[in-house]
Amino acid sequence: MTSGNSLWVRTKENARRRRWLWIGNCFVFFIWMPIRFLAMCSSLQRDYGTNAGDIFTDSARNLLMSNIGFGNVSSLSSYSVMYSSFTTLLLIMLSAVIAAMEGYSYLYDRRKVDRFHSEPVSCRIRFFSIYLNGFKNFALPYLCSVLLSVLIGGYYHLLTGKMIGYFVGITVFAMLFFLAVYHMAILAVVLTGNYIAGVCGILAFLGIEWAIRSLVYRYCLAYYHTFSSYSRDEIMSPVFSVATIFLQGLRKFAVNGEKTVTALLRQMGSSVGGMLLLAVIALALAYLAYRNRPAEAAGHSMAFGFLKPLVKITAMVLAGLTLGWILSDLSGKSIYIVGIGIFMGVLLAHCIVGIILEQRLSAVFHNLWQLGLGIVISGLIFSAFAFDLTRFDDRVPKEADIDTVAIALSAQQNDSSSYYGDFIKVMVKRMYLKDTEAALQFAAADYFHQTGDNELLDYNNQYDVTTVLYRMKNGKEYYRTYYIDMAAQSDMMDRLLENEDYKKAVFRIYDEDYMAGYDRKQCYFEDVFGTKSLREEEIADLIECLKQDYTSYSYTNLRDEVEIGQISFNASDKNYIDQMSDSYAVYPFCKKTLAYLEQKGYYESDRTLLDEVKRVEITYYVDDDYMNVKTENYEDRAEIEEIISSCQLSNFGTWWKEQNDYISDVYVSTYTSDGNIQSFRVLKAKGIPDFVQKDLEYEAGTQKE
């Protein structure tokens, strides 16, 4: 006779009672994966027919990749992964949570605990028979759905070897993701004693790390002046958030392109390892908790009483700091309002969590010491940020410990708006400055460091929001943001901008393989007279001229000279899928470039805008909400000449100039006979001509400074 205390017998018996879960999963995954895919393929076939076989195959392959592989073949970017995988991801998570709840929630019911725990079945076998059924109820329908989708793909001749490899890898990864969520959900169910607490526990396990990290990030951003938003990844890198680990793994795989099992393992090794470790730890803890869980916990909120204060205080602190941060944002960091927000948040959590934990309304009056402790902890954490108790802003690495630095200027970013991707991110990845002292000079020149103010109060100067990345000799990296008064620190700015390594990092024309490998190459020169396209064979010569001229690239030049125009380089492959664009400012100091452009007929040094302007329009923004606007038009040559002479006749490169150099509320637009319209700023030093002031009833300084 077979013993009742056998894993096989118990699993079989358990499976019999949980058929509905298996049927439900089959229903959902079959509809979502193979049936949906088949329907979409039929629709595609109807749309394209046999005349456009390639288009059908490409589209259907993308559908299949999206269906099984959480992404799309041609545009498997971080965004497409995020959105196309969301539903499947959600289904897997739901399946894991339902399996855990369904399997272990018997622990919430005293009658069921009496039934099962009095039976001659060991704790281990009872736990794992439920566990195996939960996994099986997901794994079989999911695997069958993947297999059916692949078979449908085979029927339509869509499959390639690489795709199959990718499907194998991604399916294993998806199963691992299920296990990690499943184990965490089991742990949450085993630690709690009723459905409300169980659901809260699952949500907490799946999201608490993200919530804490997000809150820390928000507070750092709000209260640390030198905190850089580029430290976000560092702070938000998940350790326990399975969904984020999964998405990051997919993104790593998707962005890097190659889609084979080995590539998947190589690129996603850390994500797979992290998830596996997380799954194992969660399962071990869940089993330990299950084994030691008292039977009398059924119906209570928590299985282990000692966890109650911990859970409640954590929730109170999080709620307090969240409400504090929301009010801080709304009130402009008013310390009193934030204090009220923290108190309200803690109190609210004390009441809600207290009622959930003690299952009675009067719980709001119990354990008031926890309320006090929650307020104290939240207050301390808030103070650590608000008063910088950890001296975060004062922390500057020792020069001896720094290996290299990257210094990314916001002015440079604004000046190179057509640069690819996220300028700062790209910049710091390209820049390895040995001049570490320069970074320390930036730290010392920081506005907040120099003035001791909490807010940027001086709006008269042009401040550069400089991102510095310190790469330490021990391998660690720190991002910092400094507010630099560029004019006041012109020597320091010159030192950086004249640095050869800096130039090589910022300007890709110095790359040996610049524009190499692209099928289509284009170059444009744009100045106040319009945009001209250069011939492809002229590009190499122009780049050479620019490289030579840029040896004179310095802050002083950028500040003192007026930018004449911009050169843009565009390149792409045949299908315009892989594209790049890049632009370079042309200043008077770029003599060789200007001479070359003039020689080729793209630039005329003696051409003046004044000769071509037929009409000038002055726009006066009376107040700073840009609603009250006055305009005047001038066609008289003498007036036009006087107006234009007071303008900086270039729209480029204003980021390097002092904002105080310009009149902030008046703009001049020029209209030429060929329909070219340009808008310019008026130089404060030249001033607005008297007749314009009179016509516009101009009153200086009506806008807020």
Partner 1 sequence: MIEIKHITKSFDGCKAVEDVSVTIKEGQVFGLIGTNGAGKSTTLRIMTGIMKPDAGEALVDDEPVYRNVGRKERITFIPDEPYFFSSATPVTMAQYYASIYPAFEMTQFYEWLDKFGLEKTRRIATFSKGMKKQLIMLLSICTHTKYLICDETFDGLDPVMRQSVKSMIASQMEERGLTCVIASHNLRELEDICDHVGLLHRGGVLLSKDLQDMKCNIQKVQCVFQTETDALIGMQNLDIVQKEKRGSLYTLTIRGKKAEIIAHFSQVGTVFFEVLPLSLEEIFISETEVAGYDIRKLIMG
Least distance CB 51 / partner 1 (angstroms): 55
Nearer to partner 1, 117 or 600 (CB): 117
* Cβ–Cβ under 8 Å, residues 498 and 554: yes
**652 vs 417: CA distance, rounded Å:** 11
Binding mask 285-324 for partner 1 (x = CB under 8 A): ---------xxx--------x-------------------
13: contact with partner 1 by CB under 8 A: yes
Least distance CB 100 / partner 1 (angstroms): 19
DSSP string, 586-639: E-TT-HHHHHHHHHTTS--TT--HHHHEEEEEEEEE-STTS-SEEEEEE--HHH
Least distance CB 111 / partner 1 (angstroms): 4
4: contact with partner 1 by CB under 8 A: yes
Among 17, 434, 476, 607, binds partner 1 (CB under 8 A): 17
**558 vs 556: CA distance, rounded Å:** 5
Least distance CB 286 / partner 1 (angstroms): 18
Nearer to partner 1, 137 or 322 (CB): 137
Largest Cα–Cα separation, the chain: 113
- Nearest-Å Rg of the Cα atoms of the chain is 33
> Binders of partner 1 among 375-404, rule CB under 8 A?
none
Among 46, 50, 54, 120, binds partner 1 (CB under 8 A): 120
Nearer to partner 1, 111 or 574 (CB): 111
Strands 565-572 and 402-408 come out as unpaired
Binding mask 100-119 for partner 1 (x = CB under 8 A): ---------xxxxxxx-xxx
Binding mask 235-274 for partner 1 (x = CB under 8 A): ----------------------------------------
CA distances from 286 to 176, 182, 202, 263, 282 (A): 17, 10, 12, 33, 6
Nearer to partner 1, 120 or 452 (CB): 120
- Beta-carbon contacts of residue 613 (< 8 Å; ≥ 6 apart): 640, 644, 670, 671, 672
Locate 242 and state its tokens.
């399975």
Among 42, 75, 87, 122, binds partner 1 (CB under 8 A): 122
Q: Left (φ > 0), alpha (ψ -120 to 50) or beta: where does 515 sit?
A: left
Nearer to partner 1, 308 or 559 (CB): 308
451: contact with partner 1 by CB under 8 A: no
* Cβ–Cβ under 8 Å, residues 355 and 331: no
**652 vs 566: CA distance, rounded Å:** 8
Range in contact with partner 1 (rule: CB under 8 A) among 4-12, 217-225, 241-249, 680-688: 4-12
614: contact with partner 1 by CB under 8 A: no
Nearer to partner 1, 1 or 638 (CB): 1
Nearer to partner 1, 120 or 601 (CB): 120
Residue 337 burial (CB count, 10 A): 15
2: contact with partner 1 by CB under 8 A: yes
* Cβ–Cβ under 8 Å, residues 491 and 569: no
Least distance CB 122 / partner 1 (angstroms): 5
Using the structure block, give the residue that is written with the tokens 């965490």. 184
- Residue 278 sits at φ, ψ, to 5 deg, of -60, -45
694: contact with partner 1 by CB under 8 A: no
5: contact with partner 1 by CB under 8 A: yes
Q: Which spans of this chain sit near partner 1 (rule: CB under 8 A)? A: 1-5, 9-10, 13, 17, 109-115, 117-123, 294-296, 305
